[in-house]
Amino acid sequence: MDQQPQTNGTQASNNMAPMVSHGGHELFDAHEVIASTISVLDQYQMYEQHIQDAELKKILTNQTEFLTQLYNIMVECLQTGQKPSQSTHIYNMSQNNDVVYGMKPGQPKKPNQSVNDLTDQGLSAYMLGQAKGLASLMSMTALEMTNPVIRRVVGDSVPNLIEMSYEIFLYQNKRGYYQVPQLAAQDLTQMTNSYTQTPDQRIN
């Protein structure tokens, strides 16, 4: 009578390793990143119905599409621990890089009294805050992820979130929502010339 080979717990664990190659701490971080991405997408859905400006709505649509694709890639990596079926992409913003400097007087800000008080200025500020928050979270979590695939996906996503944040900033700046003060010319010169280069220490 043929005997079936015995399978102990160690063998079973080794066989499963490629599919569950995640550390415990990494899993908590991955869940936080994915849940935060869902939060951004859910919030964007709520903002969309209140946005009046077509340009801001287009930015929101582009970022939603990109983040949805990223979400699906992260979920796939989490579940398989393997290279995803589609690669991550580079987010290309629609704004140019021209920043308006200087301050102009305006009305003091205060909290809204109802949703009827929502404006494109406020909605774009909420979008900026969420994009910046997700960029910061991804930066921190990518440093502690052990699986090389999901670490790379999350790490590679940080520049895209930075680009999204910058896109919203430029939109706000162009409309005077986000003003950028500058130092006086003398102070600016002194600050930019506060350092000097040092000899290269590379060993030949």
Structural domain containing residue 135: 23-95+119-190
Q: Mean pLDDT lowest for which of 10-24, 25-39, 144-158, 190-204?
A: 10-24
Among 186, 51, 202, which residue's Cα sits nearest to residue 127?
A: 51
pLDDT interval class at 19 (50, 70, 90):
low
| DSSP code, position 5 | P
Q: Is the separation of the CB atoms in 51 and 123 below 8 Å?
A: yes
Q: Give the per-residue pLDDT at 202.
A: 81
> What is the total count of domains within the chain?
1
Report pLDDT digits (tens) over 55-78: 999 999 999 999 999 999 999 988
pLDDT interval class at 22 (50, 70, 90):
low
**Inside any domain, residue 32:** yes
**Inside any domain, residue 16:** no
Please state at what angle helix 120-142 crosses helix 148-174, rounded to 10 degrees. Answer: 160
pLDDT interval class at 17 (50, 70, 90):
very low
We report the CATH number of the domain holding residue 155 as 1.20.1260.10
Among 184, 52, 47, which residue's Cα sits nearest to residue 128?
A: 47
| DSSP code, position 6 | P
Q: Give the per-residue pLDDT at 27.
A: 82
Q: Mean pLDDT lowest for which of 43-52, 148-157, 163-172?
A: 148-157
**Inside any domain, residue 107:** no
